[in-house]
Amino acid sequence: MISIKNLSKIYKSKNRDDVTAVDNIDLSINQGEIFGVIGYSGAGKSTFIRLLNRLEEPTDGKIIMNEKDMTNLSNKELRNERQKIGMIFQHFNLLWSRTVFDNIAFPLEIAGIPKEQRKSKVQELIELVGLAGREDYYPSQLSGGQKQRVGIARALANDPKVLLCDEATSALDPQTTDDILDLLVSINQKLGLTIIVITHEMHVIKKICQQVAVMDNGKVIEQGEVLEVFMHP
């Protein structure tokens, strides 16, 4: 379970007004669920998800994830905890000079996994995301959907307990979006990991999420089961 209490992020600036991007959010996210955060551009979604793996420093509040208080960790502990959190991005963030294989192997190299073990783990991930036969391709030789499959495999390399998806299908066409969403559901079922999806697209929430929080102006203005939040008359 991920427990978020009184979480706030204020971007301070010398020559402009401060921006309260995340404003006193409380949320509980259950282990193994697919949780959606939806809102218009500027609502604070991206800041929120970046606070979860501490790519942003919170101004206030607590985040308890994998039994650890993410807001109170030494640098060494933070590195350790971050390995349990995978992340995928709208524009994939792949290494363009590395092959599919080497992109997926990268986090394993950083974690110091020996070569033979790395090789079998990458092969397993390539099968899981449906990229068998593309190991030696470079990202520029792949379609958008295939690039995101590489992103997903890389995010799963260190067996995370949580996968964060930051507008992960927003750069894809509708058919490819559905294929990637199906893949996320099958990974959720096979591996039992918690998936947090942020998006501005209702379709994404309705297709794969059980729970949803609606963000506006830094605040959660509504939350609950997707069916309850969006299906009433």
List residues near ligand ADP by CB under 6 A: 11, 19, 21, 39, 41-47, 140-146, 173, 176
> Exposure string (b/e) for 96-124, b if CB count within 10 Å is 16 or more?
eeebbbebbbbbbeeeebeeeebeebbee
* Residue placing its CB nearer to ligand ADP in the complex, 180 or 184: 180
| Distance of closest approach, residue 14 Cβ to ligand ADP, in angstroms | 12
* Residue placing its CB nearer to ligand ADP in the complex, 92 or 161: 92
* Residue placing its CB nearer to ligand ADP in the complex, 85 or 142: 142
Residue 168's SS3 state is: coil
| Distance of closest approach, residue 154 Cβ to ligand ADP, in angstroms | 18
Residue of 222, 213, 217 lying closest to 23 (CA atoms) = 217
* Axis-axis angle for helices 100-110, 144-156 (nearest 10): 20
Residue 67 CA neighbour count, 13 Å, CB half: 0
| Distance of closest approach, residue 80 Cβ to ligand ADP, in angstroms | 26
CB-based contact 9:58 (threshold 8 Å): yes
What is the token pair recorded at 144? 């958008």
| Distance of closest approach, residue 70 Cβ to ligand ADP, in angstroms | 18
* Residue placing its CB nearer to ligand ADP in the complex, 75 or 175: 175
Sheet holding 34-38, edge to edge: 85-89, 162-166, 194-199, 34-38, 211-216, 219-225
C-alpha to C-alpha distance for 105 and 123, rounded to whole angstroms = 10
C-alpha to C-alpha distance for 168 and 19, rounded to whole angstroms = 25
| Distance of closest approach, residue 44 Cβ to ligand ADP, in angstroms | 4
* Residue placing its CB nearer to ligand ADP in the complex, 107 or 177: 177
- Which uninterrupted H or E stretch holds 184? helix 174-191
| Distance of closest approach, residue 191 Cβ to ligand ADP, in angstroms | 26
* Residue placing its CB nearer to ligand ADP in the complex, 100 or 108: 100
* Residue placing its CB nearer to ligand ADP in the complex, 25 or 122: 25
Question: How long, in residues, is the chain?
Answer: 233
| Distance of closest approach, residue 117 Cβ to ligand ADP, in angstroms | 28
